[in-house]
Homo-oligomer: A and B are copies of this chain.
Amino acid sequence: MHELIFIGLGLNDENGISLQGLEETKTAESVFIELYTSILPDFSKKHIEAITNKNIEELKRADIEEKNAEKLIQAAKKGKTILLVPGDPLIATTHTAIRLEATKHKIPTRIIHAASIISASIGLSGLHNYKFGKTVTIPFPDNPSQTPYTTITQNKTLGLHTLCLLDIMTEQKEYLTINTALTILLNDEKKQKKNTTTPESLAIGIARAGSKNPIVEADAIKNLIKHDFGNPPHTIIFPGKLHFIEAESLTTFANAPKNLTEQNT
């Protein structure tokens, strides 16, 4: 049967794929992968090819965005075709564009979900999911935007936490770090002065969510900015008002100084 199935690889490496995703891949006629919308630090193409017994073709950004995913669409017209993607599929807008294109060609689509940085970061932080406001991506310094600062301010005003994804250019192997992102936001604070991201503000840095040794560190920005988070991917959470259980989670799991969490409770 001709169809296109988006299968999530989850976080960190190919072992984040679900059993269902693995079974569907084994029985596919064509298998593709894209690795540019997110980073899987410990990914091994050889291993996923071995366990699925398939040759897997990597599609680059140009293959998908400039050529309308033509290879994928042509394969899916002929038989069961898989696109393996980092994280949970369809969170990246690129995947929605491919799904719309497939539907134009009358190709049925399915989604097999996996772990996403969104729920993983929230879980690792110990903060309550229903207290997060809008998520925002912080761009590289050469592409400045007021949106992150404005979003964090708006969320804080409502007492809500902000999950900040950090921009990546996987093909150039460039990844925005927690440290650089905090520097950007300290500068925004100097200009906008809304008491959002001052040197004393509490922030949580999360590195390599989904790996065996994720780092989750909470502190005042002035201290966090000096912390060595190691390799990407990095994310940051700016807490709004903390429930006392959230405060306890941050001191217990993220080394947050107690006086700082108390100030935010």
Encode contact with B along A221-254: 1 for CB under 8 Å, 0 otherwise: 0000000000000000000000001001100110
Residue of B nearest to A249 (CB): B96
With the chains together, A206 CA to B61 CA distance in Å?
Answer: 31
State whether A134 touches B131 (Cβ < 8 A). Answer: yes
With the chains together, A122 CA to B118 CA distance in Å?
Answer: 11
CB neighbours (8 Å) of A91 from chain B are: 119, 122-123, 129
Stretch with Cβ within 8 A of B (4 or more), from A12-20, A73-81, A195-203, A256-264: A12-20
Copies of the protein in its oligomer = 2
Query: A35: CB under 8 A from chain B?
Result: no
State whether B116 touches A134 (Cβ < 8 A). Answer: no
State whether B96 touches A11 (Cβ < 8 A). Answer: no
With the chains together, A98 CA to B232 CA distance in Å?
Answer: 29
> Known interface pairs A119-B119, A245-B96. Does A15 touch B23 (Cβ–Cβ under 8 Å)?
yes
Query: A56: CB under 8 A from chain B?
Result: no
CB neighbours (8 Å) of A220 from chain B are: none
Pick from B19, B123, B132, B158: contact of A90, CB under 8 Å: B123
Residue of B nearest to A51 (CB): B19
Stretch with Cβ within 8 A of B (4 or more), from A63-71, A107-115, A178-186: A107-115
Interface centre among A17, A89, A111, A116 (most CB of B within 10 A): A116
Interface contacts beyond A90-B123, A96-B249: sample of 6 additional A-B pairs, CB < 8 Å, sorted by A: A15-B19, A15-B23, A17-B18, A18-B19, A100-B245, A113-B209
